[in-house]
Structure 1
C-alpha cells in the first residue's frame, strides 16, 4: 500500500472528514469526542496559523485515511521539560476508524505509522521524534515500541497522564531495516526446533509410536529407517513419561552431526507414525506453523514468573507460552497470516474489537440461560454500543426489531463471511455493522474473548474457521441452541451437591448463544463446515467467581499456567509454591482437593464427565495457594456417561455412549495422564517433591474421598480409578491420522485411538 502526506487544507470537505474521524469512539484519546464541525474547523485553523505546528492529511493508495500533526516541542505543553533538545520534533497520528462495511486491511496501521515517521525524519535537522501518548492507550504504546521509541518517563499534562517517549534517528534507521519477519531467524529457529523435537520425542515415545533403545545409564538412542540417529539423556517416569534433557539431544545423519528438525523427524519415522501420504502436507504445515509461532514467542519474551505472581488473569493468559502439553503440533492456526497472528493471537494479547452483524431475526436463533434475558447481555442489552450499532442499521433504512446482533471475529468476517455468505449479505439477511467499541483480549483458546473494559462482563466465544490442532474451530448453531440449557443443568448438579459446594467447585455458565441458519448451507449441505461459521456464545466471566474481587483476596489463572516457564526457564508453579509459604506437599494437597477430587466426584456420583484439561480449568488462588477450581466449556465438551441416568430433554445431547469399563478414562486419561503426568514431572525436576510421593498424594486424595463417601462404594468399585492399568488413549495418534478433523465431535468416544495399557500410578 502506498502512503502519502500532504498539507491539510481546512475546507468544508476536509472538516467533515476530520469531524467523523475525531468524534468516533475509537478516537477517544484524541479528546475531541464532543467536538462540533465548527470546533474542528477552529482547531485546525489555529494549527495552520502557527508557524511551529503543521497538520497533514494522509492518503493510502489515494484514499484519505489518516491525519498527522507535527510540532516544535519547544512551543508546546512540553516546552519546560529538561529532556527536550535541539533537533526534536513532536508527532501525533490518527488512523481513520474503519467504515462499518469496510473489509479488514492487515498492516494498515503499521504502514501509516512508518510513512509518518519517514516524513518526520525527512527533515535533515530532525534528530529525534517526540511523542506523549496517554498511558492508557495500549495500542499506540505497542506501535511506538515496535518502531523503536523508548519511554523516558510519565508526565502530567493538563488533559492526560502521558508516556514521554523518544525515537532517535539511529534507532529509526535500525528498526526500518529489520527484515519483515524478524522472528524467523536461524538462531530462534534452532531454539524452537530443539524445543519441539524434545517434545515430539517425549510424547511420541509416550504414545509408543517411537521406541528408543538403551545407550548407557539413562541414555537412549533412536534409530530411524532412513539412517538418521538421535541420542539423548532421559528418565522414564510413571505413565511412561519421558523426561528428556534438552541439552543432551543430538542428531546424526550418515554418521555426521545434523541440525534438529521436527519435520524431518516426522518424515524419518512416517511409517511408524502411521502418517498417510495424502495427509503428510497437512501435518507438516501444522508443524511449520507451530515452529513459526514458537519463534515469534522467543522473539517477544514475556514477564518473569515473579512478575506473574501479582498479574491479572488476562496478563497470565498472555504470558503462557507452552500450549497443549500433549500435542506436538499444538499451535497451527492455519489461515492466520503473520499480521493476523500479531493482531489476534493470545500470544500477542492485543486489544481486539469484534465485528458485529445484524442477522435477520427469523433466520437466527437466540438461546438464553435460566434467569437471563436479551437485555442482560453486553451490547445486546441497553447501552451506547448497542445504540451505535442500531443507528448504523437505521441509516440503511432497516429496523433493529427485525434483526439480532451477532458478534463475529474480525478475521472471520473478512476471510469467510464476506465471501462465503456474500448472497446473505447482499440480501440484507446479514448486515455488517462494523466494529463495536468494546475492547476484548483473546484467551488461550484463541476464539474466546475477555472484556478488557469491564472484566466482569461475560466472555464471548466466536466461530473461527482456522485449522488448529486437529480441528477447524467453528461453532455450530445447532450445538449452540442447546448449550445454555445443558450449562444450566450442569450448574444445577454442581450447586446442589454438598461435596462440590463444600469444596467451592463451580462452573461458568454459558448464558446465551446465537446462531444464524438462514444460509443455503443449512438448507442443502448437511455436515458442511460452512454450517459452523456464524454462531457465538456468551459465558460468565471468571471474575464473577472471585470473592472480594481479583487482586484483593483472590486471583484466578488457568490450570495450564502451572506448566509455564518464563524466558529464563523459571517455573511459575514453583514460584507460586515458594510464595505461598506452604510446604510443597501441603500446596499439592490443596491442588488435588480442588481439582482431582471434584472431577472424580462428578464422575462417581453423577456419571458426569468434563474435558478437564489445563485450558478448561480455572484455578482460584489465595495467598498464591490453590483454593478451588472453576470449570468452563460445558456445552460442547461435557458428557453424561450413563445410558440410564435421567436427563432433562434439553440436555439429552450431552449423553455419551461409552463402554462401561472406559468411564474411568474421563479421569485417568484427561486428568491423570493429560495433566498430572506433566505436573508430576515438573515437580520432580524442580525439586519440589519426588514423583513417587506426588502420585502417592494423588492416590491418597481419591482414597480420602472414598472414605468420606461410603454411599458411592459401588461406583468406586465399578469405575475403579485405582485399577492396576487403564487403556492408553493417544492424542497425537489422532492428529497424525487426520490433522483436519481428529474426532467426530458428535461421537468422540468411537473416534479414539489406543496403544495398549498404561500402569496406573494411583493403584495401590
Structure 2
C-alpha cells in the first residue's frame, strides 16, 4: 500500500516548513537551556539577537527572549542561516542537528538514530498540523481519554514522537493523536511461566469477572478447551496487537510451541491509547480498569516496555501509597486527592534473556500487564479530569486551552492560577515533607480534576514507575519492606526534591508560565510568585515540619540542572544498556523561587 492519499494530504511544502521551523525553535531553545550550544549575544533587548557559528562560512541568527530558570524562548519566524554570501530562512531541523553535531560532541551513530527520530517526529507534527480542527473553546468540554489525543507530546524533549519500531501503518493505526480505538488481544499463559500479583481482596478470578463479559469468558475458555488445556493451569491476559506481531511471537516461540502461551482471541471492548502509547482507557465501559501493556518501541528516551521488577511489585506500592492517604486526614479529607491504584499485574519473563547477565533492559520488559483503577470511578457529579499536559495545548488558531478554561470559569487569571497551585502543590508537598515520598508529577501522571472549569482536586497515577523515597531516616518509611525499598529509587534530599523541581517546575510549569505571559494573561514573574506563595501557604499550615522544609528546600538559589535532550544526544546515545537511562546532570540552574525565600 502506497498511502498516496495520506502523503498528498499531509506532506505539503508549506506545512513541512511550518513544523520544521517550530521544531527548530524548540531545539535551539532547549539546547541553549541544556548548555549544548553557546550562541553569541549580538544585541540585548526584550527579544535579543543571537548568532550561532557553525563554521567560518556558516552561522545561524535568531531572536530569543530570556525566561526564568535560565531558559530561552526562540522566535521561530526569526531564524535564518547564512552560508557564504547567501542568507535564507532556516527551514530544516535536521540540517541544524547535523550542523551542531561536531560542536556538541555527538557521535555519528547517535546522530544517525536521532535523524530517524526527528523525521518520525516531524511527520507526526505534520499530521497534527493538518488534522487539528477542534477549537480550545470546544475542547474544554472534551472527555479525558479523547483529550489525550489532542496533545502534541513532551514539551521539553525535541524528538518527542520518535517511536522507533512503528511503521507508517502502525502510526496511522496506533498513535494517540490518531484517536483510533483498538481492541486488545487475549492470550493464556501457563502459571509456571507467569506470576500474578494484586492488592489484598482482589483475586485473579475476581479481576477476570470484572474485566470480561460472560460471553467473552465463555469464548476464551472454549479456546483453551480446544487446546486441551486446563483452565486452572493458566492466566489469561491482554496484549497489544503490535506487540504480539512484532515481539511476542518471535521471542516466545518456544513457549508457544510448548503451549505455555496460547493465543485466544480479540476482546470485545474498545480502548483509546493515551500519550504514553502503552496505556489504554476503556471506551465501552469507562469504569473498567485502565490497561497498561508493553509496546517495545523506543520513544522519549526509553523502550515502552514494563520493567519486570516494577510490574511484580506494583500492587504493593499501591497499598503503600493508599495506606498513607487513608491514615492522613489532610490528604483524604481536606485535599481529597485521588490515587488511581495499580491493583493487579502479570509478568511473563523470557527465560533466555532472564538468564543472561546484564541483558539489555528492553528484552526484560516484553510481556506483562498492569491494571490500574479508572479515573472515572473517582469522579463526582460535575467533575472533569484533564491531564496537566492539556494546559499547554494551543488550538490551530493559537488560542490556549487554559485560556478557554479560565474564560469559562469566570475567575480572574490570578485567582484561577492560585487555585491550580493550591490543588497541585499541597498534596505533593505533604507526601514529600511528612512521608519522605515523592511522585514524579510531570504532565501525563498529574491529573487536574476540574469543577465548573476551575481546579478542584488532584489525581496522581503511575506509582510503580514514578514514586521515589527519601534516603533520610524518616520513621514514616520504617514500615516499608526490603522488597519495596529494593525497587523504589531512594534519593538524597536534592535528588528527591528534583522530582518536583524538575518534573513539575522545569518540565511543565515553565512552559505554562511562558504561555500565559505570551498571551498577556499573566506576567511570568507573577506566575512564579504565586507558586512560591502556594509553597509558603502549605508550610504555614504545618510548622511542625519546619526541619524538613530545610531538608527539601525549594527556595535555594540554584539546583543541579537535569537534562533530557543531552542524555540521548551526548551522554547515553542509543546504547542498549541493562538499565533505563536517567536524566543527565550538567551544571546548575538559577532558581527564581529564591526571590521569595523567607
Q: Given the two structures, how large is their TM-score scaled by the length of structure 1? A: 0.73
Distance in 1 between the 2:578 and 2:532 partners? 33
Distance in 1 between the 2:212 and 2:175 partners? 28
CA contact (8 A) 1:613 1:674 kept: yes
Superposed CA deviations along residues 120-172 of structure 1, whole A, max 9, x for unmatched, are xxxxxxxxxxxxxxxxxxxxxxxxxxxxxxxxxxxxxxxxxxxxxxxxxxxxx
Query: C-alpha displacement at 1:601, in angstroms?
Result: 2.2
Distance in 2 between the 1:541 and 1:571 partners? 27
* 1:325 equivalent in structure 2: 155
Distance in 1 between the 2:504 and 2:30 partners? 16
* 1:209 equivalent in structure 2: 36
CA change 1:184–1:197 in 2 (3 A) is: same
Query: C-alpha displacement at 1:355, in angstroms?
Result: 1.4
CA contact (8 A) 2:79 2:90 kept: no
Does residue 442 of structure 2 align to residue 608 of structure 1?
no
CA contact (8 A) 2:136 2:399 kept: yes
Q: 194-203 or 380-389: which moved more?
A: 380-389
* 2:544 equivalent in structure 1: 711
* 1:587 equivalent in structure 2: 416
CA contact (8 A) 1:471 1:741 kept: no
* 2:288 equivalent in structure 1: 457
CA change 1:752–1:491 in 2 (3 A) is: farther
Distance in 2 between the 1:542 and 1:741 partners? 36
CA contact (8 A) 1:471 1:742 kept: no
Specify which structure has the higher proportion of helix.
2
Query: C-alpha displacement at 1:376, in angstroms?
Result: 3.2
Aligned Cα root-mean-square deviation (Å): 2.1
Q: 329-338 or 724-733: which moved more?
A: 724-733
Query: C-alpha displacement at 1:583, in angstroms?
Result: 0.6
Distance in 2 between the 1:722 and 1:497 partners? 26
Does residue 17 of structure 2 align to residue 185 of structure 1?
no
Query: C-alpha displacement at 1:385, in angstroms?
Result: 1.7
* 1:478 equivalent in structure 2: 309
CA change 1:694–1:647 in 2 (3 A) is: same
Q: Which protein, 1 or 2, shows the higher relative CO under an 8 Å CA cutoff with sep ≥ 6?
A: 2
Query: C-alpha displacement at 1:494, in angstroms?
Result: 2.5
Distance in 2 between the 1:335 and 1:202 partners? 28
Matches within 5 A, 1:266-285: 266-285=97-116
CA change 1:177–1:441 in 2 (3 A) is: closer
Query: C-alpha displacement at 1:740, in angstroms?
Result: 3.3
Does residue 374 of structure 2 align to residue 541 of structure 1?
yes
Q: 1:692 aligns with which of 506, 521, 525?
A: 525
SS at match of 1:446: coil
Query: C-alpha displacement at 1:743, in angstroms?
Result: 9.0
SS at match of 1:466: strand
Distance in 2 between the 1:430 and 1:465 partners? 19
Structure number with larger C-alpha Rg: 1
CA contact (8 A) 1:735 1:742 kept: no
Does residue 321 of structure 2 align to residue 490 of structure 1?
yes
* 2:508 equivalent in structure 1: 675
CA contact (8 A) 2:42 2:51 kept: no
Q: Given the two structures, how large is their TM-score scaled by the length of structure 2? A: 0.93
SS at match of 1:350: coil
Query: Any gaps of 5 or more consecutive residues in structure 2?
Result: none
Matches within 5 A, 1:90-101: none
Q: 269-278 or 198-207: which moved more?
A: 269-278
* 2:499 equivalent in structure 1: 666
Distance in 2 between the 1:194 and 1:180 partners? 20
CA change 1:367–1:763 in 2 (3 A) is: farther
Distance in 1 between the 2:285 and 2:573 partners? 37
Matches within 5 A, 1:296-695: 296-321=127-152, 323-378=153-208, 383-501=214-332, 502-517=334-349, 519-524=351-356, 526-528=358-360, 529-548=362-381, 553-644=382-473, 645-649=477-481, 650-695=483-528
Superposed CA deviations along residues 417-443 of structure 1, whole A, max 9, x for unmatched, are 111211211111111113211111101
Distance in 2 between the 1:331 and 1:590 partners? 32
CA contact (8 A) 2:419 2:455 kept: yes
SS at match of 1:722: coil
Q: 1:196 aligns with which of 20, 23, 40?
A: 23
Q: 1:294 aligns with which of 125, 141, 144?
A: 125
Matches within 5 A, 1:35-184: 178=5, 180=7, 182-184=9-11
Distance in 2 between the 1:245 and 1:278 partners? 31
